[in-house]
Copies of this chain bind each other. A is one copy, B any other.
Amino acid sequence: MLDIKPPYLLFLGSEMQKEFLKTAYGLVEWRRNDCKGQMRLSADVPDLGLPDLDLEQAVRCGIRTLLVGTACIGGGFSADWIVIFARALEAGLDVAAGQHRLLNQDPLLRATAERTGRNLIDVRVPPKDLIVGTGKKRSGRRVLTVGTDCAVGKKYTALALTAELKRRGTKVDFRASGQTGILIAGRGVPIDAVVCDFTAGAAEMLSPPNSPGHWDVIEGQGSLFHPGYAGVSLGLLHGSQPDAIVVCHDAGRRHILGYPEFSLPTIDECIERNIGCAKLTNPGVRCVGVSINTSTLGGEERRGYLKNVSSRLGIPCVDPLKGGVGELADRIEMEFGS
């Protein structure tokens, strides 16, 4: 498991598009107390509402890690960024990133890190000691967010549910399976970067045995109905051996994102397929609720939609951004005891 030391200075480079800063936005939303500053290379870069700090100011504030908050397609670094990262190491900071291009493969950064004794943390590198999934029953409870598609709120729902259970006094951990989730959690396993023979095994490592009353809330990936990523989702489902699943969906989505020929499955189909597959490693698995992004619906329409889905399926149906995930936590307590 990775260990990224807070507090953080969020590096935004000269990225002007908010969607390519989703890692930084996720960190500000979920790790606000650990985000002590932002570093922008141009005035056009969105303001996250954090103090603008340079490297020396960051060190004086007690910041320990420069965290790359961009998530552009292709996942590269420009040459001037590399120079800044090297200066951050010299100043006494660790540097962490979740890009495809690895910090640790840059000769200047490696040499600088070795000399200064600082750490370069690449989030998108799977652990070295991967195992093939064993299917062995582990102690503790697990809930996994699954989806009708990618980008339907699996990470957000898992984080919100973790926070809600924690608020109620449940022993709970968020288990991150993707790069932004890992940066938010400070640890996790980048499931999508694992060689496929080891996907389920990596998921087993992600949520190890725990005490009987403990819950792991595991961030899902992809969808069993995604023509590219379903294998990732199935390996994660089997290795997670969830006691409960929450199905995530976007009410405005008509087809798989980027795959116009593939209709989204219904929520019912998604529950049925996930439960059918999940029974392999946990015969007692059940669906405890549905989490829907209803941002495309008006207030009245939203309430009707959520109520309709909930009464048809007989389980809670929430929009975590509009009313929270309390009903999901209620259901978990009702089904498994609080």
B-binding residues in A (CB < 8 A) = 132-136, 191-197, 199-201, 224-225, 227-236, 238, 259, 261-262, 273, 276-277, 280-281
Given contacts A227-B281, A280-B225, A281-B227, contact A232 B135 (CB under 8 A): no
- B residues in contact with A262, CB < 8 Å: 135, 280
Contact B230 A200 (CB under 8 A): yes
Which B residue's beta carbon lies closest to that of A236? Answer: B231
Q: Whose C-beta in chain B lies nearest to the C-beta of A133?
A: B228
Q: Give the distance in Å from the alpha carbon of A191 to the alpha carbon of B231 in the complex.
A: 12
Residues of B within 8 A of A235 (CB): 196, 230-232
The contact of A231 among B225, B232, B259, by CB within 8 Å, is B232
- CA of A196 to CA of B325, assembled, Å: 31
Minimum C-beta distance from A237 to chain B (A): 9
A228 proximity list for chain B (CB < 8 A): 132-135, 197, 200-201, 238
| B196–A191 CB distance below 8 A | yes
Bound form: Cα–Cα A235–B197 in Å: 11
Which residues of chain B are near A227, meaning CB under 8 Å? 133-135, 200, 238, 280-281
* A238 near B234: Cβ-Cβ < 8 Å: no
In the complex formed, the residue of B with least CB distance to A196 is B196
Enumerate chain B residues within 8 angstroms of A191, measured Cβ to Cβ.
196
CB distance from A258 to the nearest CB of B (A): 9
* B contact residues around A194 at 8 Å (CB): 195-196
Q: How near does chain B come to A203, taking the closest CB pair, in angstroms?
A: 9
* Interchain Cβ contacts under 8 Å between A and B, 24 examples: A132-B229, A133-B228, A134-B228, A135-B227, A136-B261, A191-B196, A192-B196, A194-B195, A195-B196, A196-B231, A197-B232, A199-B231, A200-B228, A200-B230, A201-B228, A227-B238, A227-B280, A228-B238, A230-B234, A230-B277, A231-B232, A231-B238, A234-B234, A273-B277
